[in-house]
Amino acid sequence: MDTAQQLSFSQHKIVANDDLAFFAIQGNEGIGTTYLTKLSYQQCCDFLQIESEEIEELERLQRSADSSRVNGIRDYLVNRDNTVFPSLCLIVGAPAEVKQIEGMPSTNGTSLVSINIPKNSDRLLIDGQGRRKGIELALAIKSHLSGHHIDVKIVFMPTTLIKESEKLVKQIFTDYHYALKKPTPSQSIYFDSEQTINNFAKELIKITDARGVPFSKAVATQRLKCGQIYTLANVVDFICIFMGVTKTEVNKILSNNEKYDFYLLQLSRYIELLYQHLPFEQFQNMQQKEWKRHTSEHVACCAIGLKSLGYIGNSLLEDAAFTAGSELAEFNEDALKGLSKLPLDERNNPLWVRSEIYQSIEGKIKIIKSSERRLARVICSELRIQPSKTTIR
């Protein structure tokens, strides 16, 4: 390598002010020896700097950290006490001092070692720069977090300058994210217990089951399968629409115990009424082909259909609040009796096509995107329900 290229590569070099010493577990993977340690949040900020944004994009080895994700990590650390992170992946240029700990026998092919990374050693995070930036922002607000720890996987390069091993570094990054698949929105809701709306949705399903309505069998936390109609994410959308609030507002409203209990009661009652007037329970007892055909034909059996039912429920709530002069008033259920008389199992019915909820494309009836409010207004008109402000917006 010529001198000019070495100088160019050295511009990418990231160093620290002091040596970094720590213990680590040494093991073997397909690429060779790797190490796992824990660094404090303060050490992450002091010893693991982020690649300069001024480096030309095609010359960079590190992807830029998304600002919204960085701020989200900051808020996660600042607003929560029970936090946890996956490991970072740190690439380090040779040489480095790695010594076996005397008296510590090897276990299952792994061993305990001491590592010292000299202050002038090149280093680069290829996974975790968002966490690194978010941690730094959080420490500026909650300094006591500096003693918390995060796992760090360390891979040493065969070259002094990491840029000289560019091909290997990029491949490690690619392999590190190989076939990486994020949880679906429904899976996140199911496993997350920190958001009030998530707990509310799961409790709502249990309450409706307790009322003798098998709503849980209709709701998927993974992908829809035979007998199911909606995803858990669909249910959260339905709840917010029923309440007439956005997802950013709903947690604050449900933090009020009186409102939490009121909406839990009204929603469970509303779902029970929907089961009385719509064939949801029948779908759960069908074979695969029959279930698929019937649900694909029923107007209410999709995300847009459930949203429209949310708007209808919100309209009933708004009318009850106006009539009673109280925000927390029970809705009148009488109008819902007409649901069973509507052609909800005929997506090609002129009522829906003329209203531009469905359209015929090459002989196939397809739903028009974002038509939930239109659908709700049509059903409200047929049932003689006054549409709510959010429905006519």
pLDDT tens-digit profile of 72-82? Answer: 999 999 999 99
Q: What pLDDT does 393 receive?
A: 85
pLDDT at position 323 over 80: yes
pLDDT confidence tier of residue 10, bands split at 50, 70 and 90: low
- Threshold 0.85, pTM exceeds: no
Q: What pLDDT does 33 receive?
A: 95
Rounded Cα gap, residues 10 and 55, in angstroms: 12
Name the least confident of 100-104, 151-155, 254-258.
100-104
* Average confidence (pLDDT) over 94-108: 87
Residue 280: name the closest of 295, 261, 292 by CA: 295
Measured CA angle at 307 (ends 306, 309), to 5 deg: 65
Q: Tell me the backbone φ, ψ of residue 345, rounded to 5 degrees.
A: -95, 15
Q: What pLDDT does 6 receive?
A: 53
CB 87 within 8 A of CB 155: no
pLDDT averaged over the chain?
A: 92
pLDDT at position 52 over 90: no
pLDDT confidence tier of residue 363, bands split at 50, 70 and 90: confident
Residue written as token pair 């060779």:
32
Residue 277: name the closest of 245, 304, 244, 312 by CA: 312
* Average confidence (pLDDT) over 283-296: 91
pLDDT confidence tier of residue 4, bands split at 50, 70 and 90: very low
Q: What pLDDT does 62 receive?
A: 84
Within 10 A of 234 (CB to CB), how many other CB atoms are there? 22
Look at strands 88-92 and 149-156 and give their pairing: parallel
Q: What pLDDT does 104 receive?
A: 82
Name the least confident of 141-145, 294-298, 378-382.
294-298
Rounded Cα gap, residues 234 and 230, in angstroms: 6
